[in-house]
């Protein structure tokens, strides 16, 4: 760090599009401002952006600081945004709870309601915003859930974390911020550029921008609702297909929330939830151990799709080997793909090449 403090030397800070890198950037920004170190921050989504940024700034800078982190769900809220939602909706949209009860079925919703009743929680309490619940219920929720978790086969329902509080009302767990920043960073729509989304997500980390953070929280709720709804549809309509060595699914152009899942992290969140839901639903033991490949429309005008590979739900290491497999399948079939993302298990491809690409991928992984 000391070498950055040399006079008249500008530092180029290249930041990838994920929450870890964004938070690290905020810390670096504060340090540089405190020590009066001149710097430029440039968001980069992939290798092309990285090379372009370096070419544009190489004459003005002495040092380059690259912030790239590949998030692997290290920070996960036991109950999604529960301080900013109703307890019922939070539990319904939390992956481990949702899959334990299979809440996409009527029987699953009844089972969840049974769990809440077993805790002695009145319906009127669990369906109002958590902050508005009576203190006698709100203060005991964590203990009551822990006490009954084993009985209802709930895994990873609570874990250690930390929180911050802005004034008396705005209290955020670390993972609340992760969800909010992700929602802002991955926002769909063409009204904002990638740089606009990056700067907005960065700004929401400042205490003076609590309203922006709140907007991120609301956007994160919509994302979780879209994920559960899409999972429900895929499971209900049996849209996940076994290709032999892996499961695959396609989100069709024009379907609800298709644009939302054109972003890599959003599609990965959906794939992770969908694979978990499939594993607890299917009775076929072999299928429970398969990885998943999920595809969504990316750009209709360009005729492109985004593809993510998700390792088997049963694997503790979560090591993802799809990057090399995607590359080999594309080479074998001359499929037009781009592996420009920092995460090699995410690719962009021409939609019309999808059929031959998947045929080759099946052959390679068989």
Q: 163: which residues sit within 8 A by CB, 6+ positions away?
A: 171, 172, 173, 174
| Confidence at residue 7, expressed as pLDDT on a 0 to 100 scale | 65
CB 11 within 8 A of CB 61: yes
Q: pLDDT digit string (tens) for 275-328?
A: 999 999 999 988 899 999 999 999 999 999 999 999 998 765 567 889 999 999
Quote the Cα angle for 14-216-76, to 5°.
80
| Confidence at residue 171, expressed as pLDDT on a 0 to 100 scale | 81
How far is residue 31's CA from residue 47's CA, in Å, rounded to a whole number?
27
Q: pLDDT digit string (tens) for 325-342?
A: 999 999 999 999 999 998
CA gyration radius for the chain?
22
The closest alpha carbon to 311, from 261, 278, 365, 275, belongs to: 275
End-to-end, the C-alpha distance of the chain in Å comes to: 49
Residue spans per domain, the chain = 2-67, 72-236, 238-365
CB 248 within 8 A of CB 240: yes
How far is residue 322's CA from residue 170's CA, in Å, rounded to a whole number?
41
Quote the Cα angle for 205-44-8, to 5°.
80
Which percentage of the chain shows pLDDT scores above 70?
Answer: 92
Q: 64: which residues sit within 8 A by CB, 6+ positions away?
A: 11, 12, 14, 54
Checking if the pLDDT of 220 tops 90, the result is yes
| Confidence at residue 192, expressed as pLDDT on a 0 to 100 scale | 87
pTM of the model: 0.84
The closest alpha carbon to 177, from 280, 80, 257, belongs to: 80
Tell which wins on pLDDT, 121 or 173.
121
CB 43 within 8 A of CB 17: yes
CB 179 within 8 A of CB 161: no
Burial of 68 (0-12, 13-18, 19+ CB in 10 A): middle
Q: 194: which 2 tokens? A: 């990638």
Q: At what angle do helices 210-236 and 174-185 cross, to 10 degrees?
A: 80
Checking if the pLDDT of 72 tops 50, the result is no
Specify the fold of 238-365.
Diaminopimelate Epimerase; Chain A, domain 1 (3.10.310)
CB 229 within 8 A of CB 255: no
Which helix (H) or strand (E) covers residue 302, if one does? none
For range 36-42, the mean pLDDT: 89
Checking if the pLDDT of 6 tops 70, the result is no
For range 230-253, the mean pLDDT: 94
Q: 192: which residues sit within 8 A by CB, 6+ positions away?
A: 200
Which helix (H) or strand (E) covers residue 125, if one does? helix 123-126
Characterize the bridge pairing of strands 292-299 and 304-310.
antiparallel
DSSP one-letter string for 289-328:
T--EEEEEEEETTTTEEEEEEE--TT-SS----HHHHHHH
pLDDT band at residue 1 using 50, 70 and 90 as cut-offs:
low
For range 240-245, the mean pLDDT: 93
The closest alpha carbon to 271, from 222, 302, 230, belongs to: 230
Mean pLDDT of the chain: 89
Lowest-confidence pick of 28-42, 59-73, 107-121, 248-262: 59-73
Tell which wins on pLDDT, 327 or 78.
327
pLDDT band at residue 61 using 50, 70 and 90 as cut-offs:
confident
Indicate if the alpha-carbon torsion angle 135, 136, 140, 144 is positive or negative.
Answer: negative
DSSP code for 46:
B
């Amino acid at each position: 760090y000391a070498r950055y403090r040399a006079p008249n030397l500008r530092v180029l800070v290249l930041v990838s599009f994920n929450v870890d890198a964004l938070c690290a950037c905020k810390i670096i920004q504060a340090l540089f401002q405190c020590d009066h170190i001149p710097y430029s921050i440039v968001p980069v989504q992939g290798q092309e952006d990285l090379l372009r940024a370096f070419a544009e700034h190489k004459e003005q800078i002495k040092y380059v600081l690259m912030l790239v982190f590949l998030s692997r769900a290290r920070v996960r809220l036991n109950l999604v945004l529960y301080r900013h939602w109703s307890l019922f909706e939070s539990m319904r949209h939390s992956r481990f709870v949702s899959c334990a009860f299979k809440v996409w079925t009527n029987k699953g919703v009844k089972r969840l309601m049974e769990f809440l009743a077993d805790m002695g929680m009145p319906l009127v309490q669990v369906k109002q915003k958590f902050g508005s619940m009576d203190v006698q219920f709100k203060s005991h929720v964590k203990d009551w859930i822990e006490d009954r978790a084993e009985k209802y086969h709930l895994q990873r329902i609570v874990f250690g974390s930390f929180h911050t509080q802005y004034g008396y009302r705005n209290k955020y767990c670390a993972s609340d911020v992760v969800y909010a920043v992700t929602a802002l960073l991955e926002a769909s729509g063409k009204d904002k550029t990638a740089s606009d989304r990056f700067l907005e997500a960065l700004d929401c980390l400042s205490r003076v921008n609590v309203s922006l953070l709140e907007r991120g929280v609301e956007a994160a709720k919509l994302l979780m609702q879209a994920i559960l709804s899409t999972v429900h549809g895929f499971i209900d309509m049996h849209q996940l297909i076994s290709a032999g060595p892996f499961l695959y699914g396609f989100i069709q152009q024009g379907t609800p929330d298709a644009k939302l899942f054109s972003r890599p992290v959003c599609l990965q969140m959906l794939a992770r939830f969908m694979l978990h839901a499939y594993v607890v639903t299917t009775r076929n033991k072999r299928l429970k151990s398969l990885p998943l490949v999920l595809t969504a429309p990316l750009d209709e005008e360009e005729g492109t799709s985004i593809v993510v590979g998700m390792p088997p739900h049963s694997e503790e290491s979560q090591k993802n080997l799809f990057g090399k497999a995607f590359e080999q399948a594309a080479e074998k079939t001359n499929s037009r793909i781009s592996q420009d993302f920092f995460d090699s298990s995410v690719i962009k491809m021409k939609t019309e090449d999808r059929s031959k690409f998947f045929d080759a991928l099946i052959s390679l992984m068989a």
